[in-house]
Structure 1
Amino acid sequence: MTKNLIPQDFLKNVLQNGVGRYVCQLQRITFRFCKSHGASRHMRDFIENHLLGFSQKNPGVAVYLQPRRHRAPSIVAEYLNGYREVLFLSDKQPSEICKWTEHLRTRSGVQIVKMINNIHTETPSTQGIWHPFMFTDTEWAVTKFPNKKLSSVLKTGKTATDIILDEQTEALTEGVKHCQINNK
């Protein structure tokens, strides 16, 4: 049941990002906090001590502060592709809030999903993937190489080349006999 609830998609990347110049995919980040609620004390400390440095390092990201009365602190990140992510940070230390802020800044904005393989089959094999040594003799695993027996060429019978050469020699000998009979 849970397999159907997890979104699945093929691996994607933001096109052309890094060709020419890098474009930060984080468009806007909003810090929501309460001025008096106890769970927001670390968020208020982060805002007082670390937020100015973050906004100076990232001038392309719009930073908003949204005081909300009697609510748990959260961060809302909005990306260029329209994806929006909300993180609730009750009782997180300022260092943890810094790490989450940096994580949101460096994300591409593509939703995290279970990756789908490019290969699809209706009947998956229970034997495993084929490899060149699948049907070889098991004595090769314990044999010391080089080995005369295993190094010799296996002659299984006439090859197609041998058959064609034999037919040509027969045709030539018949042609020579035919010419000799006509010359007499």
Structure 2
Amino acid sequence: MTTRGVWHLQRLTVRYCQHGGSSIGTRQFIRQLLPEFAENNPQLTIDVVHHANKHPVVLGEYRGVDPKTVDLRKKTADEVLKVFTELRNQKGHKVTKIKSPIYSKNPSVQGEWRPGVATKMDFTIKDLD
């Protein structure tokens, strides 16, 4: 992803085993799809590292953020391409959830809404005659 024309992802490092079964899809990706991906993304530095007897991983290094590691174990070549594309399209920041409820300094005069509270006048006024 870019902000003002500057890509956040700077480097991708692929670590895989040359003979491990969990690296089959990663090896196919490196042989078949990586040259085209590298050609379409000249802003990235892509390193390929042999890591004997280890499961394949990709390490994404972002500008000003800690590196992000994604496991590629038993993924097909197309799934590895999808992981590379997702890493390229991210900013690298971790997603954090807001866990605390939002409180207001000015609470509603009508009270808090709950399921089952009438939203319209769903009652009738009876004559008292």
Map of 1:146 onto structure 2: none
The reply on whether 1:92 has 2:75 as its aligned counterpart is yes
How far off its partner does 1:83 sit? 2.2
* Cα offsets for 1:120-161 (capped at 9, x unmatched): 359x998328xxx97x7x26x88xxxxxxxxxxxxxxxxxxx
Aligned residues of 2:60 and 2:69 also touching (Cα < 8 A): yes
Structure-2 change in CA distance of 1:127 and 1:119 (3 Å):
closer
* Cα offsets for 1:4-57 (capped at 9, x unmatched): xxxxxxxxxx9x923xxx221101100000111111111011000011111111
Identity of matched residues, %: 25
* Cα offsets for 1:53-75 (capped at 9, x unmatched): 11111111110011100000011
How far off its partner does 1:114 sit? 1.1
Map of 1:4 onto structure 2: none
CA-atom RMSD in angstroms: 3.2
Gaps of 5+ in 2: 125-129
Flag the structure with more relative contact order, 1 or 2, with Cα contacts below 8 A and sequence separation at least 6.
2
Q: Helix, strand or coil for the counterpart of 2:11?
A: strand
TM-score (norm 2): 0.77
Task: Give me the whole-angstrom Cα distance separating, in 2, the residues matched to 1:45 and 1:81.
Answer: 32
Q: How many residues align?
A: 118
Larger % of strand: which? 2
Q: Helix, strand or coil for the counterpart of 1:42?
A: helix
Gaps of 5+ in 1: 1-13, 143-184
Larger % of helix: which? 1
Aligned partner (choices 77, 90, 105) of residue 107 of structure 1: 90
How far off its partner does 1:105 sit? 0.3
Q: Look at both structures and tell me which one has the larger radius of gyration over its CA atoms.
A: 1
Task: Give me the whole-angstrom Cα distance separating, in 1, the residues matched to 2:64 and 2:84.
Answer: 18
TM-score (norm 1): 0.55
